[in-house]
Every structure is written in C-alpha cells, then in structure tokens.
Structure 1
Amino acid sequence: MQIGWQKTGGGSDGNFTANIGIPTIDGMGPVGGLAHSREEYLEVDSIAERFALLVEVVRDLKDLSGRL
C-alpha cells in the first residue's frame, strides 16, 4: 500500500492539530466515495486492509514510545 499526502475536501478533527504543525494521520478508514451524500459508499473489501494498516501503525507507535 502506498502512503502519502493527498489534498481532499471536507474536514476532520485532524484539521485542528495539523493547523498548529502537529503531524496528523487522517483518512485511514475504508476506501469509498461520495462522502456525506445519499450515495456515500465504502468498498467492503478495503476494510481488512485498512484495519491491518491501523494495527501496524499502533504497533510501530508502541515500539517507538518504548525508545523515547
């Protein structure tokens, strides 16, 4: 999975932390589209992949915190 910066519309709580210069991870939910509309959808097959990514990020943060 390629991870990188992507500009999108909308907003999240992450806007508050990113705005003051704190590195912020956002958009780790399932793949989908047409957010906040009656046609909003998610790709069910993407849930497991995104969950696995979240698990690895949490593990890495745990490992990193032990070295600080």
Structure 2
Amino acid sequence: MSNDTYVKDIKAGLKNLNLLFIVLEIGRVTKTKDGHEVRTCKVADKTGSINISVWDDVGSLIQAGDIIRLTRG
C-alpha cells in the first residue's frame, strides 16, 4: 500500500495510520482496575521498532513472529 506509515515516522497524535510490522516480543499480561487485560508488545518494520499496547482478546491471539497489518489505527 502506498499509504503505509513506517515506524520511524510515527509521532504522537497521528491517527488513521496504516502499518505493516512483525511482532518481536510479547510482554506479560497486566490487568487494569476495571478488569481489562493489556500487554506491551515490541513490533518492528524495516525502519525501526516500537512498543505498542494490545488490549483484551486481541492480545491473546498474537504471537512473536506474527506479521500484522494495522489499518486506520
């Protein structure tokens, strides 16, 4: 996709991003006060790596090595 954003170009406040990345690491599950589960995952593309937060059921589905396309995230 020509509208893909690379990790190196991500800045606070950007919305509706399209990214393609690989999951490098999955962090431990943390429960919030209201019962939600959140994991911090390290993801990367060819330009760099970042940590992202993955919530609830989605976090239990992804594994290290997965290739994920985030659309309008």
TM-score by length of 1: 0.23
Structure 1 or 2, whichever has the larger Rg, is: 1
Greater relative contact order, per chain length (Cα 8 Å cut-off, separation 6+): 2
TM-score by length of 2: 0.23
Structure having the higher strand fraction is 2
Structure having the higher helix fraction is 1
